[in-house]
Amino acid sequence: MFHSIPFYRQKSGLSLRATRDGIVLRSVPKYSVKGVISITREADIQNQIRIALAPHATIFRVNSGKVRMADGRYFDTGVPNGYSDLSGFRKKDGKAIFLEIKNEKGKLRPDQVKFLKKMQEYPVIAGVARNVEDALNLVLEEIE
């Protein structure tokens, strides 16, 4: 018996399907840019990675930067510029994880490069993932 569990905006077409063998992720949609090139949205890649890493790690989506509120005040998320899109820890050993997510055309900003280089000075997992395979390789490489 299959149960469909909505995970991300239904409009995006991303959802989970629970089966006896585990959880299956439906394919991530692609969006057209100027009607010529199809690219995957980074938000969809992030959600796909979060699902794939769930058995191995606790992962959080983190927004960074400042946002102007309706009343004119600014809200600061409290994390430094360049902070990774996904962070958390590996369940097996508690090792910290910092993943910057980019689609196939995405480029790192200088502050993101600086943040990842700084994190890589420590015994943590830090890197760029463009898909689920990249993320799994980064998180699981040292324990297999």
3-class DSSP assignment, residue 42: helix
Pairing of strands 3-6, 15-19: antiparallel
> pLDDT tens digits, the chain, 144 residues: what are they?
333 333 333 334 444 444 444 444 444 454 444 444 567 899 999 999 999 999 999 999 988 888 899 999 999 888 999 999 999 999 999 999 999 999 999 999 999 999 999 999 999 999 999 999 999 999 998 665
* CA distances for 101 relative to 25, 74, 126, 143, angstroms: 18, 26, 11, 22
Integer Cα distance of 59 and 88 in angstroms: 4
pTM exceeding the 0.85 threshold for the entire prediction: no
DSSP string, 93-141: T--EEEEEE--TT----HHHHHHHHHHTTSSSEEEEESSHHHHHHHHHT
Tokens of 81: 């510029």
Indicate the number of domains in the chain. 1
Residue 66 pLDDT: 84
Domain that holds residue 59: 3-140
Task: Find the CATH number of the domain harbouring 94.
Answer: 3.40.1350.10
Residues whose CB is less than 8 angstroms from the CB of residue 32 and which lie 6 or more positions away in sequence, other chains included? 38
Reduce the DSSP state of residue 79 to 3 states and report it: coil
